[in-house]
Amino acid sequence: MSLIDLLTGNTGNQVAEQAENKFGISKNQVIALLAVATPLIISYLRNKSQDAKEAEALNNALDKDHNGSILNDASQIEARQAEGGSILDHIFGGQKSTVENQLSQNTGISIDKIGPILAMLAPVVMGYIGQQKQQSNVGAGGLGDLLGGILGNASSQAQAQQSNPLNDILGSVLGGGTQSQSSGNPLNDILGSVLGGGGNQQQGGGGLGSILGNILGGK
C-alpha cells in the first residue's frame, strides 16, 4: 500500500470520519490536513533517523508498538490518541506549536483541534511505517532510505494522478518534501515552500491555499 493509498483509501477516510464526528470539522477539511501533516511527520522522522541513536529508538518503537494492525482496526484510532500526542511531542519537539499554528492557518481548522486530530493521525502513520518496515525487512540503519522512498514514491504517484484537488495537494506537498534534503528542516521545506508560511513564502496565490479553496469551497 502506498502513502497515497493510505490517505485516500479506507484508513484515511476512517481517521477523517472519526475526527469529523468528534470535533465537528468537515471531512474534506480533515483529509486536506492529513494530506499535509502525514508527509510532514514522515519528513521529520526521516531527518531524525539520520542520527544513529534516534534511528535505533524509532526502530525499537516500530517493532514494539507499530505492526500496522491499526490500519485494519478503526477502533484503535481514537483509543490511541493519547499515545499519538506523545509521539508528536517526540517528533516535533520544540517546533510542535509552530507546526500546529501553520497547519491551522493554512487549513482553517482552529488551533485547539489541530493537535487532537494530529494525535489521532500519528499512530496511523507509525503503523504504516511499521508495516512498510516489515515488508522491506530493514533495521535501524535502513530507516532513512525507507522513509525517503515512501515520500519519493508518493510524490511520483500524486503528480502522475492529478485528477482531483486532493492529489494536487499531495503532489505539491510531497514535491516539497522530497526536495528537503538540503535544508534539513521539514517545517520550512513543506510548510514554507508549499503552504506559503515559514521562511520561504510563495509569491502569488498558489500553493496549498488556492487548492484548499477548491476542495473546501474557501476557508
In a domain, 82, yes or no: yes
Quote the cell numbers at residue 186.
521539514
**More confident position, 52 or 169:** 52
Please tell me the pTM assigned to this model. 0.83
- Check: CB of residue 98 under 8 Å from CB of residue 40: no
Q: What is the pLDDT of residue 32?
A: 86
Amino acid at 61: A
Residues 114-152: tens digit of each pLDDT: 999 999 999 999 999 999 999 999 999 999 999 999 988
Mean pLDDT of the chain: 83
In a domain, 110, yes or no: yes
Number of domains into which the chain is organized? 1
Give the domain extent around 17. Answer: 3-157
Output the CA angle 29-180-205, nearest 5 degrees.
45
Amino acid at 217: G
In a domain, 197, yes or no: no
In a domain, 84, yes or no: yes
The arithmetic mean of pLDDT across residues 48-68, rounded, is: 96
Closest Cα to residue 3, out of 27, 43, 35, 50?
A: 35
